[in-house]
Every structure is written in C-alpha cells, then in structure tokens.
Chains A and B, each alone.
Chain A
C-alpha cells in the first residue's frame, strides 16, 4: 500500500479549504442554506405521515355516522353515548324474524327468555298488541303485562310496558328511546291503558343468559313487590323523570317520558303525590 500512502501524502487541504473551515467556524453556522434544510427534509415525510395518522385518529370518532354520537334517542342507561342497548344506534342489526306461535316450539309454554320475538318498530309493537301477542306469549305473567324483546348483538333489549303487575326477574328492563317514544301516534292502543300504568321499567342491563342464571340460582328473586313513588331525578345523563320503588333493599326505577308526565300533570296534578301504587307479586310456580 506504499503507492496508496504516497498518493494520499500528496493531498493537502489547501488554503481555500482552510479559509472555508475557519469562516464557518467563525460564524458558527453552515454556509449553504439548502443543506441546513437537509435534516428537516430527511424526516419531512415521516413527520407528514405522523400528522396524517394523528389527524385520522382524531377524525374517525368525529365522523357523522359514528354510533351514539348523533343519536337523538341515546340510551338512558349509558348516559346517551353509543351502546348496544340503544335502539337508535344506526349500526344496530335489525332482525325481522316473525314471532313464533306456541305450537312451533313444542307444546309446552315458552319461558320468557325463550320467546323469539323481534320487533323492529313501534308499529310492529302495536300490531303485536292488536294480536294479543303478549298476553298469549306471557302466560306466566299477568294478563296486563306487556313486554317487548329486541335483540341486539349481545343484549336483549326489553322495555316493558307494565300495567299493574311487574315481573322484573332482574332481567334487563330498560327504557331508552323506545319507551320515550311511545305516544298516541305510535301506539294508539295505549289509549286504553290508565295513565299511571304507563311505565317502562328500568333496571338491570345485562345479557339475559347471565340474568337467567342469577334467577335460577336464587341470587335474584323472580319477582318483586314494593311501593312506587314519584320523584324527579337528575341522572348522570341529564334530567330524567323517574319513579322509584324498593324491594329487599334494592332500588329500582321506572322511567316515564316527559310527554306522558306533562300529560299527567295537566290532567291530574294530584296524582303524583304520595304512594302511587303497590307492586303486586306474581308467583310463577
């Protein structure tokens, strides 16, 4: 490598390079502006991608179609955010399986959790009522007990229109948008129901199988009784009008629509004072 070393020995920086070095050292900065941009430009693509990703992450939950965010009838149970129990959620799968008759599943009466009833609209609910569906398919219930199953992805959504006897079973008895939407126009058959019976029971929120296990194990009582009082209640999701009753130390609540409450106050203002009525036990055995 002697030739290589000889060649290298013949190379020197020269006065010009020396002056450039000292000039830059004296200024403490690089002389050519385009090069100064190099470190930024090298990472400019990565920075742009990161900004884009952050923007997309921010944008996605704010898209107009996001469930719950723009739902005017957001669920009362979860504070109005997206949830599977909200019938107003736009992504909710809709099943329109027609109700089965008693004979289609054998001779024995169906248990309440076996009833494959899927109602997708208040019109269907009204038609079911006209056909006396609930009275037919709830043999263990009082004949004045009206219920509705809606199946979501993982939950049964059961707003219950109670008349005089309440059979909670600890199951999901929920109100939400459906209960609030009951009105003369959507359910004209309700005209025959006394005003104080127009309650939607609001209680647990869980998968029915889980609740059935609790019922069968005795953890939850199969029926309740108690006294219902009227009370204005400010829930976490906003001002709600609720009725309460207590059973074995547990507080349950009934939800009533503002529309109905106003109707009650207008027609019979004294009706909300004192105990409204007693819940009657219904023995299933």
Chain B
C-alpha cells in the first residue's frame, strides 16, 4: 500500500473527491471569469485540484479551504495568461451562451476588461469577498485591489453606458 502523510491513497482520493465536489463549480466559474475560455478554465481547475492532492494542506475551516483554492486558481490563471503556450480557444460566450440579453451585455462588458480586473470583479460581486479578502487571495495590497475595483467599475460603466450601469 502506497501511503503518504500517513493515510492510505484510497482515503486521500475519497477526501479529495469530496473537496472537488464542494469546490469544482466555484473554481470553474472563477477560472472562466479570469481566463475567458472554457478550455483554459478547465485546465486551470484540473491543475488546482492536482496541487491540492499533491500538497495535502490542512485547512482549519471550509472557508479557509475555498480561499486557498481560489488563491491557487488566481495564481495559475495568471501564470497561464503569461504563458505563450496558452491555448487559442473559442470565447466563453460561445461555450456558455447567455440566457438573456442582459446577461449577454454584462458578460461582454466583463470579458472586455483586463484579466486582473475580471478576477477582482468576480471575487467581489460573485463570491462576495471583501477587498481585504480579495487582497489576500490575489496576494496584492488592499489599496491595489480597491484601485483595480474602482477602475474596473469605471470601465464597465463606460462599456455599458449610463443606463445599463445602473443595474450593476
């Protein structure tokens, strides 16, 4: 029996599967928001869980676990975006079409932002993290996060126009 960290492999896989089930959708959405493509996002999510399985970190709370996974997701997305090996893929909206015109508009607006702004927007509006928590996840200063959030909002406002921006 191949053991690591004093636990059987089967046991670890079972624990990992539970963690995967708990977090895969959330991580996929964050990766989609940052990467802007399904294929890249799925690759990132796979890599995130692979790191989880390799490192086997101890989490104090489920929130801690989620924050760690989102941090790794953000880092891997950043790495992949700077890599020349990044896949050329179809846009996000082609893989996951919007259900309404409003969704289409807001998604187009968000996807028009730089990746670092998309990460902030997603973590702030969808995940509901504070700027302080986002700063920890993205490993930046909180003031930087606030500044990026302000600039992202301004860019969304410019993209959507004054009327649609009211709905943000």
A residues lining the B interface (CB < 8 Å): 1-8, 10-13, 17-18, 20-22, 24-26, 28, 30-31, 35, 38, 41-42
Task: Establish whether residues A6 and B50, one from each chain, have CB atoms under 8 Å apart when the complex forms.
Answer: no
Sample of 14 further A-B pairs with CB below 8 A, known A4-B125, A18-B21: A1-B125, A3-B103, A3-B106, A4-B126, A5-B126, A7-B103, A7-B107, A8-B126, A17-B24, A20-B46, A21-B20, A25-B16, A25-B17, A38-B83
**B49 in the interface, Cβ–Cβ < 8 Å?**
yes
> What are 16 contact pairs spanning A and B, CB under 8 A?
A1-B168, A3-B100, A3-B106, A3-B167, A4-B126, A5-B126, A7-B107, A10-B99, A12-B28, A13-B28, A13-B42, A24-B49, A24-B50, A25-B13, A25-B52, A42-B83
A25, B99: Cα distance in complex, Å = 34
A24, B135: Cα distance in complex, Å = 30
A28, B45: Cα distance in complex, Å = 15
Task: Establish whether residues A22 and B20, one from each chain, have CB atoms under 8 Å apart when the complex forms.
Answer: yes
- Chain B contacts for A13, CB-based, 8 A: 24-25, 28, 42, 45
**B110 in the interface, Cβ–Cβ < 8 Å?**
yes
- Chain B contacts for A28, CB-based, 8 A: 50, 53-54
When C-beta atoms are compared, the residue in chain A nearest to B42 turns out to be A17
- Among A3, A6, A20, A24, contact of B105 (Cβ-Cβ < 8 Å): A3
A31, B50: Cα distance in complex, Å = 11
**What band does the interface of chain B fall in when counting residues whose beta carbon is under 8 Å from A?**
35 or more
A87, B85: Cα distance in complex, Å = 59
Query: How far in angstroms is the closest Cβ of chain A from B82?
Result: 10
Given the contacts A3-B103, A4-B110, A10-B96, A17 and B28 also touching, CB distance less than 8 Å: yes
When C-beta atoms are compared, the residue in chain B nearest to A42 turns out to be B83
Give 5 closest A-B pairs by Cβ, nearest first: A1-B125, A13-B24, A3-B102, A25-B53, A7-B103
When C-beta atoms are compared, the residue in chain A nearest to B53 turns out to be A25
- Chain B contacts for A42, CB-based, 8 A: 83
Task: Establish whether residues B42 and A4, one from each chain, have CB atoms under 8 Å apart when the complex forms.
Answer: no
Task: Establish whether residues B45 and A35, one from each chain, have CB atoms under 8 Å apart when the complex forms.
Answer: no
**B98 in the interface, Cβ–Cβ < 8 Å?**
yes
- Chain A contacts for B13, CB-based, 8 A: 22, 25-26
Given the contacts A8-B33, A21-B45, A25-B49, A1 and B24 also touching, CB distance less than 8 Å: no
- Among A5, A7, A22, contact of B98 (Cβ-Cβ < 8 Å): A7
